[in-house]
Amino acid sequence: MKRERLGRIDHELQRELARLISTQLKDPRLGFITVTRVEATNDLRTAKVFVSIIGDRHVAKQSMLALESARGFLRGELGHAVELRHTPELVFVEDRTTEKAIALGKVLTEAPRSGAPSNEAPRSGAPSNEAPRSGARSSEAPRSGEPPAETSNHAALAAAGGSPATAGGTDDPE
């Protein structure tokens, strides 16, 4: 099956499953569930449904049990909502990437406080990776096709054939 079509089917299954879980399931074991993605096989016989569950491990386990017990109901409702020849068998997988990202964020925010190196100025003997702070390119040769950098307005006027006195228009003889 073409990748584009399979991607559209995955997205449609994800959208419908999210709607069904939030509106049709009334199981008290369900926590706050988000369907993060769906991956259907090429023959559309099976679909992995990745769900993110907000809460502690007990809430996540109870929510996964509730989804497993509602699997047949969800498959039937999905078959009515999505027009496919075969409604895929649903396999629920807990997606813990959000939890991992939050934990990583906490580690990164605590790192500077726990003795990690800070952004100190380099030592006098250490080479600096910074570019020169002045805008002029002092020791660089001009790029090909580029005029050399001028040091003053007077030099620019002299190169153009004028003089600093005539540039302002005050010494015009006429």
- pLDDT tens digits along 96-126: 888 888 889 999 988 776 555 555 555 555 5
Q: Which domain holds residue 78?
A: 3-107
Q: Which token pair is 174?
A: 């006429």
Judge contact between 77 and 24, C-beta under 8 A: yes
Torsion on CA atoms 92, 98, 104, 107, rounded to nearest 10? -110
Higher pLDDT, 26 or 141: 26
For residue 36, give the CATH number of its domain.
3.30.300.20
| Residue at 148 is within a domain | no
Confidence of residue 84 (pLDDT cuts 50, 70, 90): confident
| Residue at 101 is within a domain | yes
| Residue at 146 is within a domain | no
| Residue at 155 is within a domain | no
Domain count, the chain: 1
Strands (E), 22-151: 32-40, 46-54, 89-94
| Residue at 133 is within a domain | no
| Residue at 118 is within a domain | no
| Residue at 31 is within a domain | yes
| Residue at 66 is within a domain | yes
